[in-house]
Amino acid sequence: MVIEKEEIRGKRNRRFQLLFITIDVIMVMISFLIFIWIKPASKAYYLPQYIQPFIIFLIVWLIVSAVIGKYHLTKIKKPKDIYVYTLISNITIVGIILSLIYFNNLFSYSRLIVFGTIILSTLLELFIGYIFAAYKFAQPLPDKTVRTGETKSKVFPPFTHEKFDSEKTREKRQAQRNFIIETKSKRAYNFLNRFVDVGDPHSAVFNTTKIANVETLADGYFNKMVNLHRTNDIRRLNKFFESINERMPYGGLYIGCVETKDIRKKRMLSRYIFPFNWISYCFDVFFTRIIPKLPFTKNIYFFITLGYERAIPHAEILGRLYSCGFELVEEKYIHDELFFVVRKVKEPVYDTNPTYGPLISLRRYGKNGRLFKVYKLRTMHAYSEYLQDYVYEKYKLQEGGKFKNDFRVTTSGKIFRKFWLDETPMFINLIAGEMKLVGVRPLSKQYFELYSDTLKEKRLKTKPGLIPPFYADMPKTLAEIQASEMAYLEAYQRHPIRTDISYFFKAFRNILFKGARSK
């Protein structure tokens, strides 16, 4: 019976594959004829001249598309795959066509016809792919169910209404153990078993992406929850974590897993040979890390993908968990996934307006203790601001007063900081009168609390500045930074204008001749 079903499924895939190839050939021919028609000269001249190279082009198109996997329906596991395979194959075709033109000296052919045909065919393929994705992935991804005896449930039921003897308890524990091993692995089970007794009635083990399934759990009953489904596939991720938090007592443990950005990069680069692996990875970065962060494309991205297999950096997943009221207990990489164990320590922040885009606003202390928004270019992953205490406790401070081993900073962020590009939007605060040119740094609440009470009081009497006294004195430790700022503030109280001019030129000299940089 299984073999018969596989044969039926294989025949159906082959029929669809033949249909897709036929549609693709028709779209390429239509694109070619459209640009033949657009050319102002006689169609009777262009058709005979281009028919032979068009046939060669069509053969190249079909071979490359087949090799890359554009027509392989079994490879399409998610909507993004359609666009990835289409763009990779068509970019490869462009490279081959350019090589043929260059090495055979075929520069007499019309660029409008050649590249117009490729571009229009690509757009038509993406449009057809969008329709196919909307049809195939229209329904939400089904949750895997859990077998317990003869019943199926989203979550292993607790022992609330019936008294179970030791045999029933052993059966339930064995069922949960088998479910975890089948869904993940034995290594994952051994790791989870260090924190969760799968036979404990107050432990919930489930495999879901749906918030509604979490909301069915009794409030305060389960003190340990395990979700075996990858966090990358959860649509409203913070709402999911908030629901877990709301139904868990203080001190309760939540265990989940995620494919981090670095794991994803390794997987993408090992999928194809060079240079196709880097082409695929660059498109993946654009589609899964840039498009979802922009306000005008975010909704389109989630409409197409339904939130499935989003790219999540390590810092972002931890930041989301901390913002939702958890703290990290332990994390471990198992089979290309990061398993995290977190403990509920507070209520969620319920951040209704998180920042994802390149321009961010951070709440900082200003004059008279007023919190205002400092504008900067993003240099850290999203939700990194919730990890300040965690990074400080784990890594402390490095020379210069910054956090050591700050994994929250992105690769582009390091470049921005080196050349102060991240601070250019702060001129908005300067124009608004919230900051001045020279002054102490505007600090976050967490960093502000590291300062002495005397320095805190003096800081709040003046506006913060774009150029801090740090660049004039070049202190190395937090104590030296506080001493530097104290000296500046005392001098500023006596001679404001003269002090700012003096510190400006000192900072300018250190930046220009001594290579002072922000890290």
Fold of 149-158+167-260+312-344: Translation Initiation Factor IF3 (3.30.110)
For residues 178 and 2, what is the distance between their CA atoms, to the nearest angstrom?
Answer: 23
Question: In the predicted model, what is the mean pLDDT of residues 310-337?
Answer: 93
pLDDT in tens, 481-514: 999 999 999 999 999 999 999 999 998 888 777 6
Return the residue matching tokens 């050319």: 39
For residues 243 and 248, what is the distance between their CA atoms, to the nearest angstrom?
Answer: 9
| Amino acid letter for position 359 | L
> What pLDDT, on a 0 to 100 scale, did the predictor assign at position 160?
40
**Nearest CA to 518 among 406, 428, 431, 433?**
406
Most confident of 141-155, 233-247, 416-430, 505-519: 233-247
Angle (CA) 11-16-22 rounded to 5° is 130
Is the pTM above the cut of 0.85?
no
Question: In the predicted model, what is the mean pLDDT of residues 411-438?
Answer: 88
Question: In the predicted model, what is the mean pLDDT of residues 30-34?
Answer: 86
> What pLDDT, on a 0 to 100 scale, did the predictor assign at position 198?
76
**Taking the domains of the chain in order of start, what are their residue ranges?**
2-136, 149-158+167-260+312-344, 263-305, 359-513
The SS3 assignment for 257 reads: strand
Would you give the DSSP letter of residue 74? G
Q: What percent of the chain has pLDDT over 90?
A: 30
> What pLDDT, on a 0 to 100 scale, did the predictor assign at position 402?
64
pLDDT for 277 beyond 70: yes
Average pLDDT in the chain? 81
> What pLDDT, on a 0 to 100 scale, did the predictor assign at position 91?
85
Cβ-based neighbour number of residue 388 at 10 Å: 19
- The more confident residue out of 125 and 160 is 125
pLDDT for 515 beyond 70: no
pLDDT for 157 beyond 60: no
- In this structure, what are the phi and psi dihedrals at residue 468, rounded to the nearest 5 degrees? -80, 160
Confidence of residue 372 (pLDDT cuts 50, 70, 90): very high
